[in-house]
Amino acid sequence: MSDADSALIERSIEIASIPPAGDDMAFTHAILCQVGLPRAKVQGHEFMRRSGAAWVSVQAGWLDEGRGPVQQLVPYGAMPRLALAWISTYAVRHGTREIPIGDSASAFLRSMGTDMGGRRYRTLRAQMHALAACRLQLGFKGRTFNGQPVEQFDAWIADRDSTQRSLWPGLMVLSEPYYRELRESAVPLDNRALQALRGSALALDVYAWLAHRLHRLGGHRALLHWKPLREQFAQEYTGKTAATDFKKSFLAALQKVLVVYPQADVRIVRGGVQLAPSPTPVSRRCFPVGSVG
């Protein structure tokens, strides 16, 4: 058994035996539970994902890094997902769109349950700049949100002296429209599960999707065939073996998710996946007073 598998099992025992409280509770935007950010690096400056009636468009933006405008990437991978969850959680819990990032990058990484290795440090800088600069459009059944999640962000200017840690700016300000949408539709997650799944962007997406979907089934089971699941989750899989590759990756990610989401009633059946009504990872009675609108 690998160290990652052992850590996953240890976290699952904790989740199953100890209800979430305090810092264990996290929140994210409802539409991002259905159509998330790209998981792999995007060629170009725009990404579009659709899932049924929901869709998301992410467009790369520009950021002043101290010497004028710099074209940023489209944010991708696990890091911006964890960052958005951390930022959204703070905004929902404290009822504010002003997010104190902390004194240093290491403090921010620790807050997301990750370490301060050099690679993590560089990845965080690149992805946070990309996230701060991007333009995000979310749509669902005739309603479209246009804007940028972040209204104000002071770029983390890299220190040429690698022996000295660069300091983070003290504040990130969410845009008013994004903050309002978040307050109206926040989805509760267990931060311990996010930390356990942080090595896989696909597993994070599947977890958030199930957390949003399962308790909304209205007493009925739902059978999802592999084709619509590929439409929702398989944008980065191409070529002749795309369907097979996706199914293998999805099943591996789902297995991890079910370890840390024991309430989820999800079964693999012939032709796809069967969902049954299940509690959310975090019960509403655990929410802090005033934490959601």
Q: Residue 235 contacts by C-beta under 8 Å, 6 or more apart in sequence? A: 38, 39, 49
pLDDT at residue 113 in the model:
64
Residue extents of the structural domains in the chain: 3-286
Phi then psi for residue 132, to 5 deg, are -65, -30
**156-205 pLDDT tens trace:** 665 544 444 556 666 789 988 888 888 888 899 999 999 899 889 999 99
Q: Is pLDDT of 291 > 70?
A: no
Do residues 254 and 161 make contact, with C-beta atoms less than 8 angstroms apart? no
CA distance 23 to 89: 9
Q: Where are the alpha helices (DSSP H) in 188-241?
A: 191-196, 201-213, 226-233
- For the segment 208-213, the average pLDDT, to the nearest whole number, is 94
Residue 207 token pair: 């977890």
Do residues 83 and 36 make contact, with C-beta atoms less than 8 angstroms apart? no
Angle at 16 between CA 10 and CA 18, to 5 degrees: 95
**90-136 pLDDT tens trace:** 899 899 999 887 666 666 677 666 666 667 777 888 888 898 899 88
pLDDT at residue 143 in the model:
86
